[in-house]
């Protein structure tokens, strides 16, 4: 005797979900909706008696603001360099190498990489600051090798903070890829080996297609996380020198909390959200296409 | 250890949810009518407990004097700019507003305009001790509307610190006192030539140094241009910001000269956000800075228990006041900031809060506080007290500067103007643009950030 689930039954089934839905509405959707509202006002943290609705003025201002354009460009450079290229490829390479490594090597490498990941962002920032600064470790090493030294945070700030983000975030990619690689059935790899496929061919034709979904998921999480990196850059360069490493989160912070322009800062935050969702859409499509 | 990507995703979501739930619920309070809530800025350095110790003493005294009343501290542990943000957010709602806050004078106007602060005039009128406060100190806590919004608990002044060890090697006088800007540059050139390996003249500059660059750098120069009677940044008669002034270009030229002739720190060091820590923590104690344009509070860093003890500082360092551009009257210049105790407009117990201020500001407690934090006294009775003047070398020098000091035009646009000044300084520091060009770039930014409230002078 089979009934299609009735309305009452559907309701009782949905019931256990209610607390989660309420929580999400309260703590995620609520603040986001409030942010959207604020982005259309000229709200200031201080120095203003009343705020008023200003329509799209904040957004128009952003697109005319050369510092905003600069921040968008730097954000893209930072994200592509550190997340897409750095964390992602390095994470995959480490995972692939660790699969072949002996157990002690695997444990030690894993521990080292994961340590960088679990360190608080600010602590990691200070470590990398100490590494790159003029009297820092990197220059000491260069001196020892008789190579020319320079102030990396001053001459190549974006590269330095990108490196820092790779250093900190690679562990996540490595864990994701280790898991994915472990799930590839051994017989498939063996079959490819029997067919005479070398390491690179196996990687390109067997491994990568099989972990395609993990790649997309990892890229999406990495990108979203990297887009919002703040503490690391703040500690290392504070967006400087000038605006040469001022990514969108730092620009947003400066507008909202140093210049007190909450409305404008929130509008920039929404635009950042937009950049994030554009990336997500691309990855989701990547995830959906069948090979 | 295989981890499914989705597992990681849900873990992340859980963490995010927990974090937002915690922050949203953390501020709720069951406030009782007999509990006074006091917010203050706690040092980010765990070993520095100057304010905590002082307030604990006052609390004890207050609770004894007002039986049945309790004081609850709500310390905010953050650097200056983040502290402002946090307190402003607390004051927005009656649910979170403390009864008493520690407020930087330069935000008094801005926060009063926002309706965050309560005018204190009715309380001050009945408080005899208010007569003891110096005139310009009272002015620093007054809003544009003429009402007073805070009780200042000290101030700071600025001048030139110089290293006698370096001066000795350079053959410069140990009782050095420059009369003009050129005198300063001349001394720096001598140091550069005769004592290699030291920074001849440190002037904070650029956005990474923040307000430090604006106030200790640019404004110490700018307020020494012109005739010294009118504010070179803000015209109070027309209530507009001043653009195109010769003094501004001259000040930028000074900064340009310092960095172009390599009289200052290496540019990349000067633009390092942590440079101040390097200067007071390493370079100055090691005798590697010739002249440092800096504030009265430096000894705080070298006192016993600070972690960077430098008992010899008072013998090795000399002090000179900052001269005006060409030595014109009044001859010396200083800038002052300082903090006040203010009562939020949405505070539940304003009367009790003012009683707490009165307890903090008895003559004895005020003196205790000035000495503990290397502050400059604003009360005539304390300033005249010999035990205050001799408590620390240098106190007399900096206290005497109070008579020739200036306060920033602390209007709501000021923080934005300050950033514009830092950008102008930075572009001449790096050599990206000339003083002239940087000044005109400042003029257009000024127009933008003040909503066109600009006057050419």
Contact B3 A239 (CB under 8 A): no
pLDDT at B26 over 70: no
Q: What is the DSSP letter of B327?
A: S
- The burial class, CB within 10 Å (0-12 / 13-18 / 19+), for A194 is exposed
Q: Supply the pLDDT for residue B82.
A: 80
Query: What residues in B contact A258, CB-CB < 8 Å?
Result: 81, 415, 419
Strand B317-320 vs strand B158-163: parallel, antiparallel, or unpaired? antiparallel
Q: Alpha-carbon distance A101 to A95, whole Å?
A: 10
Q: Residues of B numbered 385-414 whose beta carbons fall under 8 angstroms of chain A's beta carbons: which are they?
A: 411-413
pLDDT at position A110 over 50: yes
Both tokens assigned to A43? 């709200």
Proportion of chain A above pLDDT 90, given as a percent: 31
How far CA A178 is from CA of A135, A196, A214, B391, in Å, comes to 37, 24, 10, 64
Q: Is B13 on the interface with A (CB under 8 A)?
A: no
How far, CA to CA in Å, does A246 sit from each of A46, A249, B38?
Answer: 24, 8, 36
DSSP letter (8 states) at residue B319: E
Mean pLDDT of A237-246: 84
Whether the per-residue pLDDT at B128 is higher than 60: the answer is yes
pLDDT for B303: 78
More confident residue, B200 or B7: B200
d(CA A252, CA A112): 33
Choosing among A220, A242, A259, A261, which should be mutated to test the B contact, i.e. which has the most B CBs within 10 A?
A242
SS3 at position B295: strand
**Interface mutation vs chain B, best among A43, A46, A139, most B CBs within 10 Å:** A46
Residue B330: asked if its preceding bond is cis (omega within 30°), the reply is yes
Task: For A214, name the nearest residue in chain B, comparing CA atoms only.
Answer: B5
Q: Do B107 and A46 touch (CB under 8 A)?
A: yes
A38 at B interface, C-beta within 8 A: no
Q: How far apart are CA B250 and CA B185, in angstroms?
A: 14
How do residues B277-290 score in pLDDT, each as one tens digit? 889 989 999 999 99
The residue ranking higher by pLDDT, A46 or B198, is B198
Q: Is residue B12 pLDDT above 80, yes or no?
A: no
Q: How far is CA B14 from the centre of its chain?
A: 41
Q: H or E element: which one contains A10?
A: helix A7-14
What ipTM goes with this model?
A: 0.73
Question: Are the CB atoms for B412 and B84 separated by under 8 Å?
Answer: no
Collapsing DSSP to helix, strand or coil, B201 comes out as strand
pLDDT at B334: 95
| Interchain CB contact of B286 with A (< 8 Å) | no
How confident is the model over B288-298, as a mean pLDDT? 95
Angstrom distances, CA of residue B16 to CA of A79, A170, B174: 21, 21, 60
Q: What is the mean pLDDT of chain B?
A: 87
- What is the nearest CA distance from B299 to chain A, expressed in angstroms? 25
Q: Closest by alpha carbon to A46, among B239, B358, B364, B101?
A: B101
The pLDDT score that the predictor gives to residue B227 is: 83
Tell me whether B273 touches chain A (CB under 8 Å): yes
pLDDT above 90 for A265? yes
Q: Which of residues 231-270 of B touch A (CB under 8 A)?
A: 266-269
Chain A contact set for B205 (CB, 8 A)? none
> Residue B265 phi/psi, 5° resolution?
-65, 165
Cβ–Cβ below 8 Å for B273 and A238: yes
Tell whether B170 lies on the interface with A, counting CB pairs under 8 A: no
Answer yes or no: is pLDDT of B186 > 80: yes
A207-217 burial string, b = 16+ CB within 10 Å, else e?
Answer: beebbbebbbb
Stronger pLDDT, B48 or B314, i.e. the higher one: B314
Q: Dump pLDDT digits (tens) for A29-82.
A: 888 899 899 999 988 888 888 888 998 999 999 998 888 999 999 999 999 999
Inter-chain touch A48–B412, beta carbons under 8 Å:
yes
């Amino acid at each position: 005797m089979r009934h299609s689930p009735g309305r009452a039954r559907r309701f009782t089934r949905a019931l256990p979900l209610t607390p989660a839905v309420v929580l999400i509405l309260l703590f995620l959707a609520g603040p986001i909706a409030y942010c959207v509202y604020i982005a259309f006002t000229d709200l200031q943290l201080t120095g203003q008696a009343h705020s008023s609705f200003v329509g799209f003025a904040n957004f128009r201002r952003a697109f005319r603001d050369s510092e905003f354009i600069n921040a968008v460009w730097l954000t893209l450079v930072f994200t592509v360099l550190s997340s897409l290229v750095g964390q992602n490829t390095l994470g995959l390479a480490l995972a692939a190498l660790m699969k072949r490594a002996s157990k002690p090597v695997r444990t030690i490498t894993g521990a080292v990489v994961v340590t960088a990941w679990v360190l608080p962002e600010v602590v990691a920032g200070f470590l990398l600051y100490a590494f790159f600064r003029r009297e820092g470790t990197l220059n000491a090493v260069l001196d020892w090798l008789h190579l020319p030294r320079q102030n990396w945070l001053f001459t190549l700030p974006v590269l330095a903070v990108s490196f820092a983000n790779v250093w900190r975030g690679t562990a996540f990619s490595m864990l994701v890829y280790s898991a994915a690689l472990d799930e590839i059935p051994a017989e498939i790899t063996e079959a490819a080996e029997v067919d005479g496929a070398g390491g690179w061919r196996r990687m390109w034709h067997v491994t990568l297609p099989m972990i395609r979904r993990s790649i997309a998921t990892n890229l999406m999480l990495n990108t979203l996380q990297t887009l919002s990196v703040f503490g690391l850059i703040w500690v290392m360069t504070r967006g400087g020198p000038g605006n040469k490493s001022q990514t969108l989160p730092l620009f947003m912070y400066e507008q909202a909390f140093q210049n007190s322009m909450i409305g404008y800062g929130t509008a920039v935050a929404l635009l950042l959200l937009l950049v994030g969702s554009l990336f997500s859409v691309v990855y989701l499509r990547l995830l959906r296409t069948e090979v | 250890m295989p981890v499914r990507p989705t597992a990681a995703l849900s873990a992340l979501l859980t963490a995010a949810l927990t974090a937002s739930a915690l922050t949203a619920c953390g501020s709720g309070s069951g406030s009782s009518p007999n509990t006074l809530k006091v917010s203050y800025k706690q040092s980010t350095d765990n070993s520095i407990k100057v304010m905590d110790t002082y307030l604990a003493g006052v609390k004890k005294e207050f609770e004894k004097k007002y039986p049945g009343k309790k004081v609850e501290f709500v310390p905010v542990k953050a650097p200056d700019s983040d502290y402002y943000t946090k307190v402003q957010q607390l004051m927005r709602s009656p649910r979170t507003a403390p009864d008493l806050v520690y407020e930087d004078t330069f935000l008094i106007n801005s926060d009063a305009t926002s309706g965050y602060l309560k005018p204190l005039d009715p309380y001050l009128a009945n408080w005899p001790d208010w007569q003891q406060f110096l005139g310009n100190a009272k002015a620093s806590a007054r809003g544009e509307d003429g009402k007073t919004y805070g009780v200042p608990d000290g101030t700071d002044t600025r001048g030139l610190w110089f290293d006698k060890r370096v001066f000795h090697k350079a053959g410069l006088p140990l009782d050095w006192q420059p009369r003009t800007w050129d005198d300063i540059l001349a001394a720096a050139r001598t140091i550069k030539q005769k004592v290699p390996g030291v920074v001849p003249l440190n002037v904070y500059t650029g956005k990474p140094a923040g307000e430090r660059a604006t106030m200790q750098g640019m404004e110490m120069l700018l307020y020494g241009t012109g005739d010294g009677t009118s504010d070179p940044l803000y015209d109070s008669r027309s209530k507009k910001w001043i653009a195109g002034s010769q003094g501004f270009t001259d000040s930028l030229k000074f900064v340009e000269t310092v960095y172009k002739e390599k009289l200052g720190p290496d540019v990349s060091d000067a633009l390092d956000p942590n440079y101040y820590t390097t200067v007071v923590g390493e370079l100055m104690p090691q005798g590697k800075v010739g002249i440092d344009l800096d504030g009265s509070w430096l000894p705080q860093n070298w006192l016993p228990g600070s972690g960077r003890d430098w008992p010899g500082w008072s013998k090795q360092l000399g002090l000179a006041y900052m001269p005006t551009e060409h030595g014109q009257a009044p001859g010396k210049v200083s800038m002052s900031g300082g903090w006040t105790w203010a009562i939020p407009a949405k505070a539940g117990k304003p009367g009790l809060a003012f009683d707490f201020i009165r307890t903090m500001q008895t003559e004895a407690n005020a003196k205790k506080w000035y000495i503990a934090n290397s502050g400059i006294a604003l009360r005539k009775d304390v300033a005249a007290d010999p035990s205050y003047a001799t408590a620390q070398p240098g106190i007399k020098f900096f206290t005497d500067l109070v008579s020739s000091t200036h306060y920033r035009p602390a209007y709501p646009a000021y923080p934005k103007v300050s950033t514009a000044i830092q950008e102008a300084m930075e572009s001449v520091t790096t050599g990206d643009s000339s003083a002239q060009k940087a000044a005109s770039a400042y003029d257009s930014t000024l127009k933008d950030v003040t909503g066109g409230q600009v006057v050419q002078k």
